[in-house]
Chains A and B, each alone.
Chain A
Amino acid sequence: MTLLVLILIPLAGALVVGLSPERQAKWIALAWTSLALGAAIFAAFMFDWANPGVIQFSPKNHASGDLTPLLPLVPSLGISISLGADSVSMFLILLTTLLGPLCVLGSFTAITERVKTFYVWLLILQAAMTGVFAARDLILFYVCFEFTLAPMFVLISLYGSTNRRYAAIKFFLYTFTGSMIALAGLVYVAWVYSTIHNGAWSFDIADMQHAALTMSRTEQTWVLFALLAGFAVKVPLFPVHTWLPLAHTEAPTAGSVLLAGVLLKLGTYGIFRFVLPFVPLAVAEYASLIAIISIIGILYAGFICWVQTDVKKLVAYSSVSHLGFCVLGLVALNMVGGAGSVMYMINHGLSTGALFFCIGMMYERYHTRSMNEVGGLARRMPVWSFFMVFFTMASVGLPGLNGFVGEFMALLGTFQSGARTIGAGGTHGPLGPWFAAVAATGMIVAAMYLLYMVGRVVFGPLKEPDHHHAHETLPADLNAREITVLAPLAVLCVVLGVYPSPMLRALEAPVATTIAAAREASSRMAPVPMDSGHAEVALIHDGEASR
C-alpha cells in the first residue's frame, strides 16, 4: 500500500492542480510534491533496512507464500498492479521524490505561461517515475517506463527553447523505437515462463527471472540485445545517445533536472533489474563488448564536452560520459562495481540535477547559455558561483564529495573484474585493468572540461551580454528560494561523500543477488589464472566468488 500511495499522491496532486486556479498552481504543486517527499521519507523509515535485499511493501512477501497480487489487470496474461521495493528501488524513489518539490520550487519564476499545465505534467511525470522503480510486474514497469515519454514530451515541446519541437519528437521517437524492441524481448521471457508453467502466464518479475534463467545461451543473447535496444537508448550509450544533448538543451530547467536526475536512470535501472539477472550467460559473454561501448561513450562524450560553448549542452554531454561509468560498473559483475554503480546513479542525479538548476538560474538572469557571452560571474553572483563550483566538484569526483565514491568504486570494480592477479583483490570477471585504465582517462577528461567551464563562467573578468537587462523580479544573485533549492542537494552531496558506508551496506544485498548468476557464469568461462594455486587461495580469501 505504501508504494501505491507514493504513486497516487502525485497523481492526486495533478488532479488538484488541474482544478485549481492558475495563480495558485505552483503553491499547490509544491504542497503535493512535498507531501510525496514526506510520504517517501516515511516509507524509508518503514523500510526494514536489516534486509535491504528483500522486496518489501509487496503483498507477495508478507511472511508466507501469500501469492495474491495487489490488483489483477489482465488475468489471462497474469498482468497485475504489483508493487514492491528493495533498497535500490527505495533509494531511487527517494531521489525522485526529493527532486519533485525542488523542481517545482525551481520553476517558480521560469515558467510564466500555461503554468497549470506545466505542474500537472510535472506531477504526472513524478508518478510515472515512481511507478517504474516500484513496479514488481513487468508490464506495469513497461507501462510506466513508456508513459514517462508523454509528460516529458509535453514539458520539452511546450516549455523548451527555440528548437524544442524537433527535440521533443526526436526524444520520443528514439526512446519509443528502442522500447518496442525491448518489449518483444520481455514478452519472449514471459513466454518462456508460460512454456515451463504449462501455459500459465505471469509477468511478475521474480517469476520471470526464474524462467529467464532456463533459457539457452543463444536465446539469452537475443533477449540481451533486445533489452539493450530499449535501455541503451535511455541511458544513453554511445551510438544511440544523439537525442540526449538536444532534449536536454531544449528542455526547461525542471525538465532537464528530471531527465538527467531520474529518467536516464531508468535505463541503468533496467539493466540492473532485468538485464543482469535475466540473461546472465549472455551478459557474461558480452560484458566486455558493453564495457567497450561504455568506454567509447565516456571518452567520446568527454571530448565533445570539451569543445562546447553552450553550458547546458556541456553538462548534457557530461551525463552521457558519466553514465558510461555507471554501465561499466554494472557489467564488471562484482560487488564493488555493482554497488558503486548504483551509488553513482543516485549521486549523478543529485550533482547533475543541481548543475542543471544552477544553469537554469543563470539562464533566467542572462537569457544565454553561451560561454562566449557570460563569464566571471563570481563577481556578480558569489552565492551562485559557490554552488556552481561546488556541484562541479561533486560531478568531477572530488574526494569528499559524493561523485567520487561511486565513480571510484565503479572504476575499482572494473579494474578488479578479471584481474589476473586475483590475490590482490581481483575477482573473476569479464573486464580488467586495461578497461579501467582507459576509462580512468575519462575522469581526467571530465575534470578538464568541467573545470574549464567553471573557469570561464565563474572566474576571470566579468562578462555580461550586451543586451542584458536585469530580470524584473530576480535579484542579481540568488534569492532565498533558489538557495532553498540548491542547499539540500549540496548537503546530501557532502553527506554521501563523507559517510557513504550506510548506503553501501544497504546496497550490498540487492547487488549481490542481482549479479550472482552473471558472476557465476562469468567465473565459469574465465580462463584459469596462470597461478592456479594462488587463485584458489584468493577465492577463499575473496569470500564472494562461488564455484
Chain B
Amino acid sequence: MIEKLAQLHPEIALFAATCIVMVLGLAKSSFWRGMSVWVTGLGLVAALVLSFFSPQTDGMLPNSLPYLKAMIAAIGLMILPLMGGTVDRWYERTVGRGASFDPLRVTRGEFYAFYLLSLMGVMLCVTADDLIWLFLALELTSLPTYIMVAMSTPRLRSQEAGVKYFFLGALSAATFLYGFAMLYGATGTTQLQDIAIHFRTEGMGLIGTLGLVMALIGVSFKIAAAPMHFYTPDVYQGAASPVSAFLAFAPKAAGFVVMIQLLSTVGWGWGEHGIALPEALRITLWVIAAITMTFGNVLALLQSNAKRMLAYSSIAHSGYMLVGLLVGPGQGPIAGNGLGAAMFYLLCYGVMNLGAFAVLACLEKRDEHGELVEIETVEDLRGLHAARPGLAWAMTLCALSLLGMPPLLGFWGKLGLFTSGISAGEIGLVVIMGLNSAVAAFYYLRLVRAVMLDTRDEDMDRPALTDMFGRRVAAGLSAVGVLVVVIWAGQLQAASDHATEVNPRIRQFNERVVEAEETPVIESIARND
C-alpha cells in the first residue's frame, strides 16, 4: 500500500495545491487571489520534483514514472504563465476600481483548480494498472477541460464550444467504456496485466478484438484523431488561446498513455515476424494514422483562422505520433522503439505548440463591440515583425519546429518516428508521413510569411500587446525551448525509450508463447531479401 502511495506522490502534491487554490481564489484580498496562480505553480514544481523520486510501478509500463510524469508537470509549468489572466480579468479590474467584491462572481480559483485536476488525471493515467482506474483517470483529465473551455471567455462562443466538447466527450467516453466492458467480458478481469496474460495464452478472440478497437476509437477523441476529431477546430476556436494550448497537450498526453497501456495488453508480438500488432488492430491503427494526418494537414491548408489551423495541425501531429504506437516498443534488437519516439514527440509537440498559441494569446484587438479580444486570424498576424520582433520570432521558430525543420526540436522528434516506422517495415506509412510534412510546410510557412514578410496595411488597426506579462514569458519559454531542448534531445530520447519499455513479466510471457510456436523471431525479421 505504501509503495503504491509512493507512486502517487506527484498527484498528491497536485491535489494539495488544488485544495489550497480553490480556497485562495475566493479570498477577499486581491493579493491572496493573485497568489492562486503562484500556488498552482508551486504545486507543479513539487510534482515535478517528486516525480523524479517515483519508484517503478508494477503496471504495464514499469519505468514510465519519472519521464512521463516529469514531462507532464514540466509542460504544465510551461503552460501556466500563459493561463494567467484568462478568467476574471475584467471583474478584477472593476474590483480594483473600488467595486465591492462578490465571491460568487469570481472563477479564478476554480479555473486553476481544474487545471491542476486535469493534469493530475493525466498523471494518474500513467500509473493506472486497471481498466476502472484508467477510465476514471481519463475522465478526470477531460471533465475539468469541458468547464475550462466554457468559462475561458465570457463570450457565448466559448460556452457553445464547451457544450459541444462535452457532448462529444460523453460520446467518446461511452464508446471506450463499452470497449472496456467488452474487454472485461472477453477476459473476465479488469487488471491490465491479467488481460495481457489472458490475451497471450488464450488469444484475442472476437470480443476481445472488438472491445479493444472500440476502446481505441473512443480514446482517439482525446488525442483528436480520426474518426473522433471533428470537435477539434470548433472547440479550439471557441476557447481562449491559453486553454486551446492546454487542450492540445493534456488530453492528448492522457489519450496516448492510455492507448499505449491498452495496446501493450495485446503486445506487439504478432504478425508474420512477431513484431507487429495483431492484423486487425494494425490495420485499424494504420488507417486511423494515415487518415488523421492527411485529413488534419489538408484541412489546415484551407484555414484562414490561425487557431483553426493550429487545431487541424494538432490533429495531424496526432497522426504522426500514432505511427510510433503502431510500431510498438521495439521487439528484439531490430525494430526501433516507436513508443519512445511517440512519447518524445509528445514532449516536443508540447513545447513547440505552446509557443504558437502563446503568440496568439499575447495579441489583442477590439471586436465589433469595442471589447478587447485575442486575435485569431492569420490576417491579424501580418506585419508582426515590424511591431513586435520578439513575438514574430517566437512564432517563426515554433512554426518551423512544428514543420520539422532541422535543427529545431520538431525535427528530432520526427526523426525518431521516421526511424522507428521504417525499422518496423511501415515504409508506406512513413512515406505518407513525409508527404504530409511537406503539405504541412504550406500552412506553417503561411504563418511565417504573415509574421515575418508581410507588411500591414495602414488602415488596419494594429493588434495591441496584452498587458499580461506571463503570456509573453510563455511564448519566450517555448521559443527558447525549441532551440535549447535540442541539446538534450539524445538524453530525452533515451529517457523516453526507457520509460516506455513494456513490463518484462508480460514480455517474457510473450517470448514463451513465441518459442512455443517455434517462430524464429530474430532471424526472420533480420532481413527479408
- Asked if B490 is at the interface (CB within 8 A of a chain A CB), the reply is yes
- Known pairs A73-B489, A173-B438; A150 contacts B405 (CB<8 A): yes
Q: How far is the CA of A194 from the CA of B497 in the complex (A)?
A: 17
Question: For residue A21, which residues in chain B have a CB less than 8 angstroms away from its CB?
Answer: none
* Stretch among B75-83, B171-179, B417-425 lining the A interface: B417-425
Q: How far is the CA of A165 from the CA of B400 in the complex (A)?
A: 17
Q: Does A460 contact B (CB under 8 A)?
A: no
Stretch of B112-120, B249-257, B352-360, B429-437 that contacts chain A: B429-437
Q: Is the CB of B441 within 8 A of A194?
A: no
Q: A191 to B490, Cβ gap below 8 A?
A: no
Interface check B93, CB cutoff 8 A = no
Interface readout for A157-178 with B: 1 if CB under 8 Å, 0 if not? 1100000010011001100110
B269 to chain A minimum Cβ distance, whole angstroms, is 17
Tell me the minimal C-beta distance from B203 to chain A in angstroms: 29
* Contacting residue for B431 out of A74, A158, A181, A194, CB 8 A: A181
* Cβ-defined contact, B423 with A191, below 8 A: yes
From known contacts A74-B493, A147-B406, A173-B441, infer whether A194 and B434 are also in contact, taking CB-CB under 8 Å: no
Interface membership of chain A positions 194-213, coded 1 if the CB is closer than 8 angstroms to chain B and 0 otherwise: 11001101000000000000
Beta-carbon contact of A143 and B434 below 8 Å:
no
- Is residue A77 within 8 Å, beta carbon to beta carbon, of the partner chain? yes
Tell me if B53 counts as interface (CB < 8 A to partner A): no
- Shortest B355–chain A CB gap in Å is 17
* Interface residue B457 (Cβ < 8 Å from any Cβ of A): no
Q: Are B435 and A177 in contact (CB under 8 A)?
A: yes
In angstroms, Cα B493 to Cα A222, docked, is 29
Residues on B with beta carbons closer than 8 Å to the beta carbon of A181: 431, 434-435
Give A156 Cβ to nearest chain B Cβ, in Å.
10
- Chain A residue nearest in CB terms to B496: A76
For chain A residues 292-350, which have a beta carbon within 8 Å of chain B? Answer: none
Alpha-carbon distance A72/B489, docked complex (angstroms): 11
**Quick check: is A465 within 8 A (CB to CB) of the other chain?**
no
Instruction: Tell whether, in the assembled complex, residue B418 and residue A183 are in contact, meaning their CB atoms are under 8 Å apart.
Output: yes
Knowing A180-B435, A184-B434, the reply to whether A165 touches B494 (Cβ < 8 A) is no
Residue of B400, B415, B423, B453 touching A157 (CB-CB under 8 A): B453
A413 to B497, CA, bound (A): 50
Task: Give A158 to B400 CA distance when docked, in angstroms.
Answer: 17
Q: Which residues on the B side are within 8 Å of A139 (C-beta)?
A: 415
Chain B interface residue count, CB cutoff 8 Å, equals: 41
Contact A177 B438 (CB under 8 A): yes
Does B333 lie within 8 Å of A198, measured CB to CB?
A: yes
Query: Looking at chain A, what size class is its interface with the partner chain?
Result: 35 or more
Whether B97 is near chain A, meaning CB under 8 Å from some CB there, is no
Is A187 a contact of B418 with CB atoms below 8 Å?
A: yes
Are the C-beta atoms of A195 and B526 separated by less than 8 Å?
yes
**B497/A76 in contact, CB under 8 A:** yes
Complex CA–CA separation, A164 to B391 (angstroms): 23
| A150 B400 Cβ-Cβ under 8 A | yes
Q: How far is the CA of A74 from the CA of B336 in the complex (A)?
A: 14
| B442 contact from A142, A147, A173, Cβ within 8 A | A173
B434 touches A180 (CB 8 A): yes
Quick check: is B445 within 8 A (CB to CB) of the other chain? Answer: yes
The CA of A79 and the CA of B420, in the complex, are separated in Å by 15
B221 at the interface (CB under 8 A from A): no
Q: B369 in the interface, Cβ–Cβ < 8 Å?
A: no
Among A111-142, those with CB < 8 Å from B are: 139, 142
Kindly state the separation between the CA atoms of A188 and B423 in the bound complex, as whole angstroms: 7
**Closest-CB distance, A97 to chain B (whole angstroms):** 21
Q: Which of A74, A75, A180 has the most CB of B within 10 A?
A: A180
Asked if B529 is at the interface of the complex by the 8 Å CB criterion, the answer is yes
Interface positions, chain B 328-363, Cβ under 8 Å from A, are: 332-334, 336
Indicate if A246 sits at the interface (CB-CB under 8 A): no
Q: Does A190 contact B (CB under 8 A)?
A: yes
Across the interface, do A77 and B406 meet the contact criterion of CB distance under 8 Å?
A: no
- Chain B residues within 8 Å of A191, by CB: 336, 419, 422-423
**From A77, A169, A194, contact of B445 by CB (8 A):** A169
Q: Inside 8 A of B493's CB, which chain A residues have their CB?
A: 74, 76-77
The smallest C-beta distance from A512 to any residue of chain B, in angstroms, reads 29
Q: Are B407 and A147 interface neighbours, CB within 8 A?
A: yes
The 8 A CB mask of B196-239 against A (1 = contact, 0 = none) is 00000000000000000000000000000000000000000000
Q: Which residue of A lies closest to B526 (CB)?
A: A195
Chain B nearest CB from A286 CB (Å) reads 19
Known: A143-B411, A150-B400, A173-B438. A184 touches B490 (CB 8 A): no
B449 near A165 with CB under 8 A, answer: yes
User: Is there an interface contact between B489 and A194, defined as CB atoms closer than 8 Å?
Assistant: no
The answer to whether A184 touches B400, judged by C-beta atoms less than 8 angstroms apart, is: no
Q: A109 an interface residue at 8 Å Cβ cutoff?
A: no
Report Cα–Cα, A169/B454, bound state, in Å. Answer: 13
The verdict on A149 contacting chain B, using a C-beta distance below 8 Å, is: yes
Query: How distant is the Cα of A198 from the Cα of B423 in the complex, in angstroms?
Result: 12
- Give the docked Cα–Cα distance between A216 and B494 (Å): 32
Rounded to whole angstroms, the CA-CA distance of A181 and B380 in the bound complex is 34
With a cutoff of 8 Å between Cβ atoms, the chain A residues found around residue B527 in the complex are 195
Query: 8 Å CB contacts to A: which residues of B384-427?
Result: 400, 403-407, 411-412, 415-416, 418-419, 422-423, 427
CA distance A199 to B400 in the complex (A): 32
- The closest CB in chain A to the CB of B439 belongs to A177
B427 CB to closest chain A CB, in angstroms? Answer: 7
A364 within 8 A of B: no
How distant is B405 from chain A, measured CB to nearest CB, in Å? 7
Picked from B427, B445, B526, the residue with its CB within 8 Å of the CB of A173 is: B445
When distances are taken between beta carbons in the complex, the residues of chain B under 8 Å from A176 are 403, 437-438, 441
Chain A's closest residue to B446 (CB) is: A169
Closest-by-CB residue of A relative to B529 is A216
Decide: B434 and A183 in contact? CB cutoff 8 A: yes
Distance, CA A60 to CA B68, complexed state (A): 37
Contacting A177 at CB < 8 Å: which of B441, B489, B490, B526?
B441
Instruction: List chain A residues, Cβ under 8 A from B441.
Output: 172-173, 176-177
Q: Which of B332, B400, B415, B529 has the most CB of A within 10 A?
A: B415
Of all chain B residues, the one with the shortest Cβ separation from A75 is: B490
Whether, in the assembled complex, A146 has its beta carbon less than 8 Å from a beta carbon of chain B, the answer is yes
Q: Give chain B nearest CB distance to A139 CB in angstroms.
A: 7
CB atoms of B449 and A169 under 8 A apart: yes
B496 CB to closest chain A CB (Å) equals 10
Distance in angstroms from B324 CB to nearest chain A CB is 14
Q: Is B419 a contact of A190 with CB atoms below 8 Å?
A: yes
Of all chain B residues, the one with the shortest Cβ separation from A190 is B419
- Residue numbers in A under 8 Å from B332 (CB-CB): 199
Q: Are A184 and B430 in contact (CB under 8 A)?
A: yes
* Contact present for B422 and A184 (CB under 8 Å): yes
Q: Out of A74, A143, A154, A177, name the residue touching B406 (CB < 8 Å).
A: A143
Contact status B334-A184, CB under 8 Å: no
Determine the distance from Cα of A147 to Cα of B333 in the docked complex, in whole angstroms: 32
Binary A-proximity of B431-465 (CB < 8 A = 1, otherwise 0): 10011011001100100010011100000000000
What are 16 A-B residue pairs whose CB atoms fall within 8 Å in the complex?
A: A72-B490, A74-B489, A76-B494, A77-B419, A77-B493, A147-B405, A147-B406, A150-B405, A154-B452, A157-B453, A165-B449, A165-B454, A168-B453, A187-B415, A187-B430, A191-B419
Q: Which residues of B contact A (CB under 8 A)?
A: 332-334, 336, 400, 403-407, 411-412, 415-416, 418-419, 422-423, 427, 430-431, 434-435, 437-438, 441-442, 445, 449, 452-454, 489-490, 493-494, 497, 525-527, 529
Q: Which 3 A-B pairs have the closest CB atoms?
A: A199-B333, A177-B438, A180-B434
